[in-house]
Amino acid sequence: MTNQSTPLIKQLVALIRLKSFENSLEFVDKLAENVITDLDLIVVKKISHVFSPTGITLGYILSQSHLVIHTYPEEGVIHVDLAICSDRSDKEFEKSLKYALSGHEVFSIEVETIEFEG
Amino acid sequence: MTNQSTPLIKQLVALIRLKSFENSLEFVDKLAENVITDLDLIVVKKISHVFSPTGITLGYILSQSHLVIHTYPEEGVIHVDLAICSDRSDKEFEKSLKYALSGHEVFSIEVETIEFEG
């Protein structure tokens, strides 16, 4: 983190629009697990909340920072926020999301990034 | 959230550099509570982790989305990630951070935003 060529914290945020998905914690769990495995993230702690009538938030404290997923099933939208101290490209992030959602009809994945230099 | 003039999700991310601060959960708790009160955020659930040797992560699931704070005491850096469905300006966010850190010598607060339209 002290190397000036490496961002101190990089944030990768995606808004995913897809045809439909289950309003279940299991669905979000599976999505998160795929991203965690694919990007070699190390989980320290986990938290989740099932909103009424719909919507789920699943958050992880990572050794590298955090991953938070919000779902909005009524709008067909998933928001994924990954903050990491190590470097991952937006292409890697998008690829891991596509992989995690294979089998679903994904309309679009918009990825935005924020980098703070060390 | 269906009004097109309102962002579906707005993310306000700050990197704060300050002279020194305690490596304690109490310090981060107080910082978070000030921001939560100042910005009228509604907490649903809370999670925290104290890293060894230093560094604390404190996360909240909000009714509006999430707030995650990471501290890096050895670098004099605090990272604050606020994702909200309602609108808050980066100026309001920065003001609430300054207020929360009054009494500390703050060198800089960089704020970056990401907005996804509904």
CB spacing of B79 vs A9 below 8 angstroms: yes
Q: Mind telling me the catalytic residues of A?
A: 65, 70, 85
* Min Cα separation A103/chain B (Å): 25
In chain A the domains, ranked by start, together with CATH numbers, are 14-75 (3.60.90.10)
User: Which pLDDT value is given to residue A100?
Assistant: 94
pLDDT digits (tens, 9 = 90+) for A62-89: 998 999 999 999 999 999 999 998 778 8
pLDDT digits (tens, 9 = 90+) for A83-92: 998 778 899 9
**Whose CA is closest to A59, among B13, B60, B71, B63?**
B60
Among A9, A15, A45, whose Cβ lies nearest the Cβ of B47? A45
Residue identified by tokens 């005491």 is B73
b/e map of B47-74 (b: 16 or more CB within 10 Å)?
bbbeeeeebbbbbbbbebbbbbbbbbbe
**8 Å CB contact between B81 and B1:** no
Q: Which of A114, A115, A117 to mutate to test the interface with B (most CBs of B within 10 A)?
A: A114
Residue B3 pLDDT exceeds 60: no
CA distance A2 to A74: 43
pLDDT digits (tens, 9 = 90+) for B47-106: 999 999 999 999 999 998 999 999 999 999 999 999 998 778 899 999 999 999 998 999
pTM of the model: 0.91
